[in-house]
Structure 1
Amino acid sequence: MKHYFNPMSRAITTDWMLKELDVQHERINIDFTASENNTAEFRRINPMGKLPVLIDGDAVVTEVSAICAYLADKFPEKQMAPAVGVVERAVYYRYLFFAGNTIEPAFSLAACGFEHPEPFSAGWGDLPRVLAAIEEMTPETGWALGEHFSAADVVFGGLLDFAVTFKWMEPSSKVAAYVERIRQRPAYQATHSAFATA
């Protein structure tokens, strides 16, 4: 497996996932200052010119949630995802896709000082609803799926950590406690040194 990476990109989350799994892979560093993500070679791999990218044989996977889901399923013995067909799998999917489909676009707009003119037509609604959903979905104790840490925490918790670090949101005490639990994980600490000082 090859993981295309830059420490100041969303690839930090997939790097963390790989560290949680403790699986062998080749890290390929992409230098943004040299615009390596805009070369024709890289654009053939990912036309978006963005990170992260995971290549596993003939499979090319982009997007944080997709990569984390792929890795969790590739290594089922690591128990980073509920089994297919169980109720918890539906909850797991909600956490994976809520992060990129709802939280990030809402926060990205808000960080630029924008509001969608017709929030009922936007997939993420509006910021108050997003914040209310985050509060409801954040676990009081343990992890997103209960007592067992999973890829849902890497994706959902990782994005909340990002949002708190870069002041996209003022966390409630429950969200702050969850983010702090995330930050205590050895694999998080091993992969987030540049991010933590941002």
Structure 2
Amino acid sequence: MADELIFYTNPMSRGQIVRWMLEEVGAPYEPRILDYGTTMKEAAYLAVNPMGKVPAIVHNGKVVTECAAICAYLADAFPDKGLAPALTGRADYYRWLFFTAGPVEQAITAKMFGFEPDAEQQRMAGFGSLAAALDALESAVSGKSFIAGDHFSAADVYVGSQIDWGLQFGTIASRPAFEAYIAPLRERVAYKRAKDIDNALIAEMQAANPA
């Protein structure tokens, strides 16, 4: 089917990032909700993503995994939506999109798992330390409405999602620059629509499987 777009996700996953991006794109897509430990690990889905993790998309028969890659891909696949800067203006776009997907997420994960690199390890670890990664991220958003240039982009979906989740779950300490950056992003129509969809799905799952 021309322009077929399939979205594999679970509402309690990083799939929420891609859901927001898809709602910003506004193109029709077919969501397929997978369960941890069952359908996410079955052969049919492992043929899509051998990691057995979500999210993933299949667009016109081509698979894309990893949230930052999916956001960047969708921005390019639907250029009329204006979700990527012109090629001459993509330095900050690529820099902060992949910095947040790399050092920031690595630093947060290390902290959650109880790993605090010492001074020597910080020299070898790409993220250095959580404090250093968050200081750099703070510098990127301070005094800005958008992470790359004067317009909202796919990088704001990804960076905004990481800050949004971090503030919500306490993995990123509140800082004025983070709060000021994320506040208007939370008011975007696509953000709210995506949250409503995933929150409704979460409620359905919880009702079907009460604790």
Query: Shared fold by TM > 0.5?
Result: yes
- Between the aligned partners of 1:107 and 1:24, the Cα distance in structure 2 is 33
Task: Write the letter of the residue equivalent to 1:79.
Answer: G
Task: Quote how far apart the aligned CAs of 1:134 are.
Answer: 1.2
Q: What is aligned with 2:149?
A: 146
Task: Quote how far apart the aligned CAs of 1:103 are.
Answer: 0.7
Alignment of 1:6-155 (within 5 A): 6-32=10-36, 35-84=38-87, 86=88, 88-117=89-118, 118-155=121-158
Task: Write the letter of the residue equivalent to 1:19.
Answer: E
Task: Write the letter of the residue equivalent to 2:155.
Answer: A
Contact in 2 for aligned 1:119/1:125 (Cα 8 Å): yes
Flag as ranges the 4+ runs of structure 1 deviating above 2 A: none
Task: Quote how far apart the aligned CAs of 1:161 are.
Answer: 0.6
Aligned to 2:126, what secondary structure does the other structure show?
coil
Unaligned regions of 5+ residues in structure 2, if any?
203-211
Aligned to 1:123, what secondary structure does the other structure show?
coil
Task: For residues 158-185 of structure 1, give each alpha carbon's deviation from its aligned partner in whole angstroms, at most 9, with x where no partner exists.
Answer: 1111111110021211111111112111
Aligned to 1:45, what secondary structure does the other structure show?
coil
Task: Quote how far apart the aligned CAs of 1:25 are.
Answer: 1.1
Task: Quote how far apart the aligned CAs of 1:113 are.
Answer: 2.3
- Between the aligned partners of 2:48 and 2:98, the Cα distance in structure 1 is 23
Aligned to 1:54, what secondary structure does the other structure show?
strand
- Between the aligned partners of 1:120 and 1:160, the Cα distance in structure 2 is 25
The two structures have a TM-score, normalised by structure 2, of: 0.87
Task: Write the letter of the residue equivalent to 1:13.
Answer: I
- Between the aligned partners of 2:176 and 2:64, the Cα distance in structure 1 is 35
Task: Quote how far apart the aligned CAs of 1:40 are.
Answer: 1.6
- Between the aligned partners of 1:51 and 1:100, the Cα distance in structure 2 is 15
Contact in 2 for aligned 1:183/1:189 (Cα 8 Å): yes
Task: Quote how far apart the aligned CAs of 1:141 are.
Answer: 3.6
Task: Quote how far apart the aligned CAs of 1:37 are.
Answer: 0.7
**Larger displacement relative to structure 2 (91-100 or 112-121):** 112-121
Aligned to 2:173, what secondary structure does the other structure show?
coil
Task: Write the letter of the residue equivalent to 2:77.
Answer: K
Task: For residues 18-49 of structure 1, give each alpha carbon's deviation from its aligned partner in whole angstroms, at most 9, with x where no partner exists.
Answer: 101111111111122x6211112111110111
- Between the aligned partners of 2:142 and 2:192, the Cα distance in structure 1 is 21
Task: Quote how far apart the aligned CAs of 1:140 are.
Answer: 1.5
Task: Quote how far apart the aligned CAs of 1:53 are.
Answer: 0.4
Say which one has the larger Rg: 2
Task: Quote how far apart the aligned CAs of 1:155 are.
Answer: 0.7
Task: Quote how far apart the aligned CAs of 1:146 are.
Answer: 3.4
- Between the aligned partners of 2:65 and 2:102, the Cα distance in structure 1 is 15
Aligned to 1:192, what secondary structure does the other structure show?
helix
Q: What is aligned with 1:180?
A: 183
Unaligned regions of 5+ residues in structure 1, if any?
none
Q: Percent identity?
A: 38
The two structures have a TM-score, normalised by structure 1, of: 0.92
Aligned to 1:28, what secondary structure does the other structure show?
strand
